[in-house]
Amino acid sequence: MTPHADTPTTGGTGAPPTVTLAIWRGDAGGGAFRDYTVRAIEGEVVLDVVHRIQAELAGDLAVRWNCKAGKCGSCSAEVNGKPRLMCMTRMSTLDTTAPITISPMRAFPVMRDLVTDVSYNFAVARRIPPFAPGPPTGDGTYRMAQFDVDRAQEFHKCIECFLCQNVCHVIRDHEENKPRYAGPRFFVRVASLEMHPLDTLDRRQLLRTELGLGLCNITKCCTEVCPEHIHITDNAIIPLKERVVDAAYDPVAWLGRKILRRARPTPAAEAAASSPAQQHNEVIVTDPPAVSGD
């Protein structure tokens, strides 16, 4: 994509400026791009234009959105082939001399138009044992160093837009990997737990055998598309890989644990099996983001 000045395309001498969006229309059975041309308005983002097309030209256009402030992660799509939040992509940064393509995230099944089925991500989330702190100190409080607070804060910025999941080629190009691969968003989630000094679980074996951490070859494409600028690869995935290798293959670390007789952390799989949700086969259901045009 080539950035250009804020001057939009004009339809001719004296004609009002216009912009054309080629929006993918269809469902799980198939579809195609359709061109929609509307007048250009200074200062708009892509989602603004999509909403005007929905209001003026295609009332049945389905698009998922919620906050329009870059914090809910609902309006994820591919703009000119690049995964983006439509509400955070300014029209002034795009080349409007040609149609701008808007398509649904490719890594997930299409439900209708720009809306995809991202339930895969919620299924992965349920496989990760939650935060499990140990008992408080003698005065009934928990204490953390500021360094540990700062390190985990970055991971908590995730808005679950799933752009990192969408761009990860392990998921995007290999549907067969989904049952055994968590993806970058959930490696960030596990990192926030594993690096928490008060957590008592050990999720390293889970990462190695069930969540597919070894399939990631750290291309950093997930980091590049993150709208919250989380350093997914450098600060989450690589440190997790180091921890998994230490636990599984480092003989010095193994000998050190034997000599020092350190307490063995509770394996995550064991904790998950004994959790109330697993025992009672509970399923957590959350309200889906707003979908307009249905």
For residue 273, is it within any domain? yes
For residue 237, is it within any domain? yes
CA within 13 Å, CB half, 26: 15
Structure tokens at 56: 């003026």
Task: Indicate the pairing of strand 17-27 with strand 100-103.
Answer: parallel
| Residue whose tokens read 């991202």 | 118
Q: Tally the domains of the chain.
A: 2
- List the domain range (segments joined by +) for residue 78: 9-116
Statement to judge: residues 146 and 50 lie in one domain: no
**Per residue of the chain (294 residues), what is the pLDDT tens digit?**
444 444 445 444 566 799 999 999 999 999 999 999 999 999 999 999 999 999 999 999 999 999 999 999 999 999 999 999 999 999 999 999 999 999 999 999 999 999 999 999 999 999 999 999 988 888 888 888 888 888 889 999 999 999 999 999 999 999 999 999 999 999 999 999 999 999 999 999 999 999 999 999 999 999 999 999 999 999 999 999 999 998 877 777 667 767 765 555 555 655 555 444 444 444 333 344 444 554
Statement to judge: residues 195 and 71 lie in one domain: no
Statement to judge: residues 172 and 43 lie in one domain: no
User: Which CATH number is 271's domain given?
Assistant: 1.10.1060.10
Tell me the C-alpha distance between 160 and 124, whole Å.
Answer: 13
Q: Is 45 helix (H, G, I), strand (E, B) or coil?
A: strand
- Spatial contact of 95 and 2, defined as CB atoms under 8 Å apart: yes
Statement to judge: residues 51 and 135 lie in one domain: no
Helix (H) or strand (E) holding 22: strand 17-27
Question: How many helices and strands (H and E) does the chain possess?
Answer: 12, 12
Statement to judge: residues 108 and 67 lie in one domain: yes
Statement to judge: residues 75 and 137 lie in one domain: no
For residue 199, is it within any domain? yes
For residue 2, is it within any domain? no
Which of 116, 131, 159 is where one domain is finished? 116
Statement to judge: residues 104 and 124 lie in one domain: no
Statement to judge: residues 124 and 184 lie in one domain: yes
- Spatial contact of 146 and 60, defined as CB atoms under 8 Å apart: no
Which of 88, 116, 144 is where one domain is finished? 116
For residue 286, is it within any domain? yes
What is residue 2's predicted lDDT score, i.e. its pLDDT?
42
Statement to judge: residues 156 and 282 lie in one domain: yes
Statement to judge: residues 271 and 169 lie in one domain: yes
Statement to judge: residues 162 and 267 lie in one domain: yes
What is residue 272's predicted lDDT score, i.e. its pLDDT?
53
What pTM did the predictor assign? Answer: 0.80
CA quadruple 231, 235, 240, 241: dihedral sign = positive
For residue 165, is it within any domain? yes
Statement to judge: residues 132 and 93 lie in one domain: no
H-state helical runs in the chain: 46-56, 119-126, 146-155, 163-167, 169-172, 184-194, 204-209, 221-225, 238-249, 251-260, 268-273, 276-279
